[in-house]
Amino acid sequence: MSEAVSPTPLYHRIYAVMRERIVNGYYPGDVPVPSEAELAETFAVSRITVRKAMEILAAEGLVTRARGRGTFVTDRAQQNRLDRPVVSNVNGLFSYLNAVGKSTRLRVISLDRGEAPPRIAALMGVAPDTEVVRAVRIRDLHGRPYSLSMAYLLPEIGAEIGVQDLARTDMIDLVQRAGANVEQVEQVLTATLADEYAAQHLEIPIGSPLMRMIRVFVDARLGSFYVAEILYCADRYEYRVALRREPGQGFTLDGGPPR
Look at residue 142 in the predicted model and tell me its pLDDT: 78
Look at residue 28 in the predicted model and tell me its pLDDT: 79
Instruction: Please give the residue that has the higher pLDDT: either 257 or 58.
Output: 58
Question: Rounded to whole angstroms, how far apart are CA atoms 202 and 153?
Answer: 23
What is the phi/psi pair of residue 85, to 5°?
Answer: -70, 160
Question: Rounded to whole angstroms, how far apart are CA atoms 132 and 134?
Answer: 6
How large a percentage of the chain has pLDDT more than 90?
41
pLDDT of 82 higher than 60 = no
DSSP 126-173: --TT-EEEEEEEEEEETTEEEEEEEEEE-HHHHTT--HHHHHHS-HHH
Question: Rounded to whole angstroms, how far apart are CA atoms 32 and 41?
Answer: 17
How large a percentage of the chain has pLDDT more than 70?
80
- What are the structural domain ranges in the chain? 3-80, 90-233
Closest CA to 180 of 201, 151, 150, 139: 151
Kindly state the DSSP code that residue 246 receives in the 8-state scheme: P
| Over residues 149-158, mean pLDDT | 95
Q: Given pLDDT bands bounded at 50, 70 and 90, which one contains residue 60?
A: confident
pLDDT of 59 higher than 60 = yes
User: Which CATH number fits the domain 90-233, given the four candidates 3.40.1410.10, 3.30.450.20, 3.40.50.920, 3.30.565.10?
Assistant: 3.40.1410.10
CATH classification code of 3-80: 1.10.10.10
Look at residue 67 in the predicted model and tell me its pLDDT: 82
| Over residues 60-82, mean pLDDT | 76
DSSP 174-236: HHHHTT----EEEEEEEEEE--HHHHHHHT--TT-EEEEEEEEEEETTTEEEEEEEEEEETTT
**pLDDT (tens digit per residue) in 95-135:** 666 666 667 788 999 999 999 999 999 999 999 899 999 99
pLDDT of 86 higher than 50 = no
